[in-house]
């Protein structure tokens, strides 16, 4: 196994790594830097697009362009013009939240959730946006929504609340997009740090970036720890498989806004490429709308 920096660059709050197999490129977002980023598999050919507000997540659309989950709600995005077009905002009346993480299910729904800027109160929620732009609330009472991802058979939806230190598993109905029977998969203190972004590999194991613990943990579907990969940055925010064979793990990290020059975390905000894991990911579906 080898861990290398993806680029020399650092980002305020890098998140949402997303491999696009058609173009063989990696996308990610800088939430607080308000920017979408793209590179080739090795971190070269960097390109970026500014967006008008904090950007929690991005889904690539089936017919080109992207759907963004911004502070002001769902927006469509055109990479050619760089134009953003607001679609709908499920939390238009709540000033203290923003979108924080999101992913597309295998029927093309964009599932994304929000967080409390103050990271203290359960004022956030998570939503499912369907191809006809209908938005359904899947859950509420969330402080910091994170880690949406599905089991390979689509029967389980994993999600986390970082502030509660908990990863949940819910039954998922891929035909309707509804969740039920939500239970705790990994509780607080059962793994180092707090749960941040996650992905599921081809064997159905969950890879979860552990915020504040500088690592990515691979959990078995029963929630037990299978392995831990140490990462040189402390606030690891998300991870995704990518590369030509879908066997590299891209890991993002963030700078602590309260302590931007933290001497104990000199690589904060870096992106990493982990190779030689011997595990493959699954291709990410596209938003059907």
194 binds, among Ca ion, ligand BGC, none (CB under 5 to 8 A by kind): ligand BGC
- Record the tokens describing residue 39, joined without a space: 């590179």
Between 197 and 285, whose beta carbon lies closer to Ca ion?
Answer: 197
Between 170 and 208, whose beta carbon lies closer to ligand BGC?
Answer: 208
Between 159 and 248, whose beta carbon lies closer to Ca ion?
Answer: 159
Between 235 and 248, whose beta carbon lies closer to Ca ion?
Answer: 235
Q: Which of 117, 173, 185, 171 is nearest to 145 (CA)?
A: 117
Q: Binding pattern to ligand BGC, positions 61-100, x when CB under 6 A?
A: ---------------------------------------x
CB-CB contact of 240 with 29 (8 Å): no
Residue 234 falls in the annotated catalytic set:
no
Interactions with Ca ion, residue window 109-148 (CB under 5 A): 146
Q: Which of 66, 65, 62 is nearest to 16 (CA)?
A: 66
For residue 119, the minimal CB distance to ligand BGC (Å) is 6
Q: Is 186 in the site for ligand BGC (CB under 6 A)?
A: no
Looking at 91, 105, 196, 265, which residue binds Ca ion (CB under 5 A)?
196
Q: Which of 2, 44, 4, 46 is nearest to 278 (CA)?
A: 2
Query: What is the per-residue burial (b if ≥16 Cβ within 10 Å, else e) of 94-129?
Result: eeebbbbbbbbbeebbbbbbbbbbeeeeebbbbbbb
- Residues 6 or more apart whose Cβ sits within 8 Å of residue 144: 100, 115, 116, 119, 124, 161, 162, 163
Looking at 99, 157, 158, 211, which residue binds ligand BGC (CB under 6 A)?
211
Catalytic residue selected from 30, 105, 116, 196: 196
For residue 144, what are the β-bridge partners? 115
277 binds, among ligand BGC, Ca ion, none (CB under 5 to 8 A by kind): none
Please state, in angstroms and rounded to a whole number, the distance separating the CA atoms of residues 209 and 188: 14
Q: Is 237 in the site for ligand BGC (CB under 6 A)?
A: yes
Interface residues with ligand BGC (CB under 6 A)? 13, 15, 31, 100, 144, 146, 162, 194, 196, 211, 237
């Amino acid at each position: 196994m080898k861990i290398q920096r993806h680029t020399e660059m650092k980002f305020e709050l890098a998140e949402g790594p997303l491999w696009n197999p058609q173009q063989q490129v990696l996308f990610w977002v800088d939430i607080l830097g308000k920017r979408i980023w793209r590179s080739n598999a090795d971190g070269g050919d960097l390109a970026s697009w500014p967006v008008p507000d904090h950007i929690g997540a991005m889904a690539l659309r089936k017919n080109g362009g992207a759907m963004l989950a911004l502070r002001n709600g769902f927006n469509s995005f055109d990479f050619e013009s760089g134009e953003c077009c607001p679609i709908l905002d499920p939390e238009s009346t709540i000033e203290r939240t923003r979108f924080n993480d999101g992913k597309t299910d295998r029927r093309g729904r964009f599932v994304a959730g929000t967080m409390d800027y103050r990271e203290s109160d359960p004022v956030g929620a998570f939503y499912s946006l369907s191809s006809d732009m209908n938005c359904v609330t899947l859950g509420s009472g969330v402080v910091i929504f994170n880690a949406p991802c599905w089991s390979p058979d689509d029967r389980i939806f994993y999600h986390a609340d970082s502030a509660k230190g908990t990863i949940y598993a819910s039954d998922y109905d891929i035909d309707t997009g509804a969740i039920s029977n939500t239970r705790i998969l990994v509780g607080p203190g059962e793994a180092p740090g707090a749960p941040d972004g996650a992905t599921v590999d081809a064997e159905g194991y969950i890879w979860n970036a552990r915020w504040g613990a500088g690592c990515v943990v691979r959990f078995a579907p029963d929630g037990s720890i299978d392995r831990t990969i140490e990462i040189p940055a402390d606030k690891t925010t998300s991870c995704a498989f990518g590369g030509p064979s879908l066997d590299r793990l891209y890991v993002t990290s963030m700078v602590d806004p309260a302590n931007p020059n933290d001497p104990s975390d000199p690589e904060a905000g870096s992106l990493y490429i982990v190779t030689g894991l011997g595990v493959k990911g699954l291709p990410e579906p596209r938003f059907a709308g």
